[in-house]
Structure 1
């Protein structure tokens, strides 16, 4: 049996023009109200993706304690963030949408319909279950779907991040990359068709549509919190897709990366580089972000979409009393006790 080197989505980076305003919306509407860090610093290691110049930023990473990955809400403070010059379409190259999960999709749909600054498509059927598409106030697309992996209950009808929807130019090349990264995983479906649920501006477009799923397992300190992982790949067959971050910087508006919770960075680096996917950024050792720390790295998928990898070393459990967990002292990758992870909810920010 192949031991996993990643467990799930740890977070998705969302570039915005006002981090405080955006986080307020995401915590009130989407339930991301437990901060892991709230940090202002220079992004020195990302210079190759920020125009050859070190840029300053303000970033907040927050969790939804129902379970799932978090959001890293990210704003340049040294320059004006640039929006995409065109309206993103499904199949455009990069991260097109976040996949959020909900314990009751119908309830989540009615909740999102009540939000005056969000747009939602009709509730319907995806090839792997019930769900719906929407657009947040910042122009970012999302899916909300059903899921079987949950950590707890919250007052919000929406859970955390279950995965992403990514546009690719060559499905077979992309499948090879993501299967190497996510191994072991399964193909939920692989279909080529005109899909009624995909909100494309021009009707009757054909897509090749593949969903990879990595089911929650007993590997990884945070696996029970993060849950199942879904990566949906879309290849537009009837048009030439555009690159979502063409002529822009990492950190500009939109989905800047998807971050995977990494269990053994050295082994993953060897696996990926051996298959022709070298790290383009590697902190090497532990890198601190406010009260959290870990080794982080970046790799590009075949279309140049940035994939972040984080091996967590230090995590705040209860900031008020200075309780921080040093994961480097653990001798195994078994899940942390649920009671310990639930203590993080005491850091919740309420509106």
Structure 2
């Protein structure tokens, strides 16, 4: 079986209070559908947690308008640690998460009215589209960008995640992974300059090279219509020495901890990753329980150590109240699930 990438399943976010953060993400980003909620010990992640298993409480929440979800993480066995230095544009790792919007200007006005920490008015990116940045209460940066694909529209202005902005040390080396394996083969722009739309960001006042990548082929697989298209923007700075965002910290500490893709064909993917110089560093090897859901997961590192997770979903709850769970093991790997089936996830919506 060949690999199939359905899209960005979720962005992992390490925070100090899982339920407080989830409420903020529900109210402002519409992340109100829980796929799972679980308190457990992350036994397999010891290479990234100081060599000892750490306990955590996690919620995977999605916005049914489409896009990637958030895996909201809180350590319960230790106090999650912030970066030892102020993160700047170009530091190695996930710098900002992109949030899809029906109307960027209207979303800006709404967030300003709510008193959110918006960094500037909407600015034109090099691709000619309006975008703006804001911080959540936990110092995480989000970039609100136009969305061009939606699953189940509602009155909310925003959908889920549409990608990430990542700092890298060498864009060509990074593209071996992001273009060569993850399929972001379309270069929307590749420019080096001091950019007005980045000027209000920490470190955004110096020149950088930025490359926006999209995938030319539509995503396939069970959740492809829900997760939708995404983009990756690589940032490389040359006039300062960048730092690794998670240097001397644990996976699960405060910030964006990983970028996760929903896939089918884990064995083929593992062979491809190894052949191209990105071997699996974590591999659950079989179906792994995640609250009400189950799947096979694995991790690799990009050339700068940023963690990329792959999840082959085996079971998800469709309507937990009546015990309806969907088994995905025997489905055609390229075929998308029927829209009506995924829309029943709305029965689990958390209302504030």
Could you say if the C-alpha distance between residues 236 and 218 of structure 1 is closer, same or farther in structure 2, counting changes exceeding 3 Å?
closer
Instruction: Please list the CA deviations of residues 259-316 of structure 1 after superposition, one character each: whole Å capped at 9, or x if unmatched.
Output: 0111211111111100111000000111111111110000000000100111111011
State the secondary structure of the residue aligned to 2:325.
strand
**Matches of residues 319-334 of structure 1 in structure 2 within 5 Å?**
319-334=320-335
**Matches of residues 157-306 of structure 1 in structure 2 within 5 Å?**
157-183=157-183, 185-198=185-198, 199-201=200-202, 204-214=205-215, 217=218, 219-306=220-307
Please say if residues 67 and 225 of structure 1, whose CA atoms lie closer than 8 Å, have aligned partners that are also in contact. yes
State the secondary structure of the residue aligned to 2:314.
strand
Could you say if the C-alpha distance between residues 203 and 225 of structure 1 is closer, same or farther in structure 2, counting changes exceeding 3 Å?
closer
Between the aligned partners of 2:111 and 2:219, the Cα distance in structure 1 is 33
Please say if residues 162 and 230 of structure 2, whose CA atoms lie closer than 8 Å, have aligned partners that are also in contact. yes
Please say if residues 262 and 309 of structure 1, whose CA atoms lie closer than 8 Å, have aligned partners that are also in contact. yes
188-197 or 305-314: bigger deviation: 188-197
Please say if residues 37 and 59 of structure 2, whose CA atoms lie closer than 8 Å, have aligned partners that are also in contact. yes
197-206 or 159-168: bigger deviation: 197-206
Instruction: Please list the CA deviations of residues 110-131 of structure 1 after superposition, one character each: whole Å capped at 9, or x if unmatched.
Output: 1111233433321111122111
State the secondary structure of the residue aligned to 1:159.
strand
Please say if residues 184 and 232 of structure 2, whose CA atoms lie closer than 8 Å, have aligned partners that are also in contact. no
Report the Cα offset of residue 204 of structure 1.
4.2
Could you say if the C-alpha distance between residues 9 and 332 of structure 1 is closer, same or farther in structure 2, counting changes exceeding 3 Å?
closer
Report the Cα offset of residue 155 of structure 1.
2.7
Between the aligned partners of 1:186 and 1:4, the Cα distance in structure 2 is 19
Please say if residues 3 and 269 of structure 2, whose CA atoms lie closer than 8 Å, have aligned partners that are also in contact. no
Please say if residues 119 and 201 of structure 2, whose CA atoms lie closer than 8 Å, have aligned partners that are also in contact. no
Matched length: 349
Does 2:52 align with 1:62? Answer: no
Instruction: Name 1:35's counterpart in structure 2.
Output: 34
Q: Report the aligned-residue RMSD.
A: 1.4
TM-score by length of 2: 0.96
**Matches of residues 42-191 of structure 1 in structure 2 within 5 Å?**
42-128=41-127, 129-183=129-183, 185-191=185-191
Could you say if the C-alpha distance between residues 236 and 274 of structure 1 is closer, same or farther in structure 2, counting changes exceeding 3 Å?
same
Please say if residues 215 and 227 of structure 1, whose CA atoms lie closer than 8 Å, have aligned partners that are also in contact. no
283-292 or 218-227: bigger deviation: 218-227
Between the aligned partners of 2:81 and 2:239, the Cα distance in structure 1 is 28
Please say if residues 132 and 145 of structure 1, whose CA atoms lie closer than 8 Å, have aligned partners that are also in contact. yes
Please say if residues 116 and 134 of structure 2, whose CA atoms lie closer than 8 Å, have aligned partners that are also in contact. no
Could you say if the C-alpha distance between residues 260 and 213 of structure 1 is closer, same or farther in structure 2, counting changes exceeding 3 Å?
same
Report the Cα offset of residue 331 of structure 1.
3.2
Could you say if the C-alpha distance between residues 21 and 215 of structure 1 is closer, same or farther in structure 2, counting changes exceeding 3 Å?
farther
Between the aligned partners of 2:13 and 2:162, the Cα distance in structure 1 is 15
Please say if residues 208 and 234 of structure 1, whose CA atoms lie closer than 8 Å, have aligned partners that are also in contact. yes
State the secondary structure of the residue aligned to 1:110.
helix
Please say if residues 205 and 237 of structure 1, whose CA atoms lie closer than 8 Å, have aligned partners that are also in contact. no
Between the aligned partners of 1:200 and 1:324, the Cα distance in structure 2 is 43
178-187 or 325-334: bigger deviation: 178-187
State the secondary structure of the residue aligned to 1:182.
coil
225-234 or 204-213: bigger deviation: 204-213
Instruction: Please list the CA deviations of residues 219-250 of structure 1 after superposition, one character each: whole Å capped at 9, or x if unmatched.
Output: 11111111111011000121111111111100
Between the aligned partners of 1:73 and 1:21, the Cα distance in structure 2 is 10
> Which consecutive unaligned segments of at least 5 residues does structure 1 have?
none
Between the aligned partners of 2:96 and 2:141, the Cα distance in structure 1 is 5
> Which consecutive unaligned segments of at least 5 residues does structure 2 have?
none
Report the Cα offset of residue 218 of structure 1.
5.9
Could you say if the C-alpha distance between residues 101 and 184 of structure 1 is closer, same or farther in structure 2, counting changes exceeding 3 Å?
closer
Report the Cα offset of residue 4 of structure 1.
6.0
